[in-house]
Structure 1
Amino acid sequence: MPKSKRNKPYSLTIPKKKGLELKTKLLQDVRNCIDKHEYVYVFSVRDMRNSKLKDVRTLWESSRFFFGKNKVMAIALGLTPETEYREGLHKVSAQLKGDVGLFFTSEPPDKIHKWFNGYQECDYARAGNKATHNVTLPQGPLSQFQHTMEPQLRLLGMPTAMDKGVVTLITEFEVCKQDAVLNPEQCQILKLLAIPMAIFRISLLCYWQKEDSSFTQLCALEQEATVLTASDEESEPNSQDVEPGSPDRSVD
């Protein structure tokens, strides 16, 4: 006989939620880094890849990266001059909007800017990215592919067939056009062709210095910088304007 559902045990205890605990830990970790390091940077990422960001984190193991949960990090820094953890940090918290993160370091700014301005890694494009150039395959054999790949290529939309055991394009095939938005099939074809069209790059938006509590706003191309002291008047950020980051993108 099947077991009766009436005999199924039910737990009467209330499970403990870890959300508040994790947010409290993140807040404390951010403030510990403020006490430990001399500089706090806000950075943005182009063509985000978790593996690439982890590689950068490894290269800068003496520093600390936080990416995700912007609202919690903004609260840790302080949203207003009255609630900021240290003088001038409310200007940093106002920058935490969108796909940005915090970078804590004690290395001098010249070294930091030179390295990040020169760092970039190529990767394969994902659906939604724009093609950087035209890619068209001529009619004829595709000797780089094994014969077992032919069904997969046809499913991706390529007009292929087997000719004497060799994967062959029946007609000329246009994979993508420059500046056109790529779909998943095009991205997969470009990956199979070993053609990267994405560049992982980290841009520094601004930084705060502990020594004099100064805030420096950096331009996108790192060509100019405007230095503001902590005593300069500036409109206070609205906590409702700070967008929280996704929890799965957090990097400690």
Structure 2
Amino acid sequence: MPKSKRDRKVTLSKTRKKGREYKESLVNLIRQSVEDYNSLYVFTFENMRNLKFKEFRERLKSSSRFFLGTKKVMQVSLGRSASDEIRPGLHKVSKFLHGDTALLFTNLPKEEVVRMFNEFEEPDFARTGSIASEKVELNEGPLEQFTHEMEPFLRKQGMPVRLNKGVVELVSDFVVCEEGKPLSPESAQILRLLGIKMATFRLHLLCRWSPEDFEVYEEGLEGINDSDVESA
């Protein structure tokens, strides 16, 4: 009987950021998942929120398994070319593993996976460096949403405020952020205080592999070639 490619030993000693044992363990877990689950997806994410993603993983715990490990190690696990892939067609999956991407192994029907990913959307407060989706400007006058104890803190965020008979008051119009420009730490903090959420945590499916077929979901990605795969 031919020896299974999944049992092939892989040397990962050249990489130093994480221990060799961790990398070899990740390789083995991914290769075992190829055998244990019906299909494999690569997905990408924007505005990742760890707590929300943990909740999403828990919902699929009984039928699926996620991997957000080192991309190069995940590529090695699946195979980066037709000559070293562990199952036919898996090297095509490796070509999508770069940037903010991860793996999902699952036994769920394709239609259900697509529906869950399309429906997943979690608004949240934008972080420093995020691009403002709109201009936010506060007009001169009282800011009754803030208590008087917050006046010193608001001044530290650059807001031209003062106390007027115990009420926080803007002494002039103030632009919190401009549409299309990165948020400063102060702007991000003020938006949070105002309750304005400019970030949305989303997940996007890129491709799907199964022993029967391979399909790409995102338009324009079909043209990815072997040179796009990260070198190990």
- Classify the TM-score, shorter chain: 0.7 to 0.9
Question: Deviations along 1:28-47, whole A, 9 cap, x unmatched?
Answer: 11112111111100000011
Hey, what does 2:6 align to over in structure 1? Answer: none
Return the alpha-carbon distance in structure 1 between the equivalents of residues 50 and 74 of structure 2.
19
The answer to which of 140-149 and 179-188 deviates more is: 140-149
- Pairwise mapping of residues 1-150 of structure 1 onto structure 2 (< 5 A)? 19-62=19-62, 63-150=64-151
Return the alpha-carbon distance in structure 2 between the equivalents of residues 141 and 59 of structure 1.
45
Hey, what does 1:219 align to over in structure 2? Answer: 218
Return the alpha-carbon distance in structure 1 between the equivalents of residues 190 and 44 of structure 2.
29
Cα deviation, residue 237, structure 1: 2.9
CA contact (8 A) 1:43 1:101 kept: yes
CA contact (8 A) 1:47 1:198 kept: yes
- What is the letter of the counterpart of residue 51 of structure 2? S
Hey, what does 1:249 align to over in structure 2? Answer: none
The 3-state SS of whatever aligns with 1:104 is strand
- What is the letter of the counterpart of residue 83 of structure 1? D
Question: Deviations along 1:126-155, whole A, 9 cap, x unmatched?
Answer: 122111112111112222222221111111
Hey, what does 1:242 align to over in structure 2? Answer: 230
- TM-score w.r.t. structure 1 length? 0.79
Question: Deviations along 1:146-180, whole A, 9 cap, x unmatched?
Answer: 22211111111100111111211111111112112
Stretches of structure 1 lacking an aligned partner (at least 5 in a row): 1-16, 227-233, 245-252
Cα deviation, residue 186, structure 1: 0.6
Question: Deviations along 1:183-220, whole A, 9 cap, x unmatched?
Answer: 1111111011110000000000001013x1x2101125
In the alignment of these two chains, the number of paired residues is: 215
- What is the letter of the counterpart of residue 216 of structure 1? E
Misfit runs of 4+, over 4 Å: none
Q: Give aligned-pair identity as a percent.
A: 43
Return the alpha-carbon distance in structure 2 between the equivalents of residues 123 and 80 of structure 1.
39
Return the alpha-carbon distance in structure 2 between the equivalents of residues 216 and 68 of structure 1.
23
Query: Considering only aligned residues, what root-mean-square deviation do their CA atoms show, in Å?
Result: 2.3
CA contact (8 A) 2:94 2:229 kept: no
The 3-state SS of whatever aligns with 1:199 is strand
Hey, what does 1:10 align to over in structure 2? Answer: none
Residue 176 (str. 1) matches residue 177 (str. 2): yes
Stretches of structure 2 lacking an aligned partner (at least 5 in a row): 1-16
- TM-score w.r.t. structure 2 length? 0.86
Return the alpha-carbon distance in structure 1 between the equivalents of residues 224 and 49 of structure 2.
34
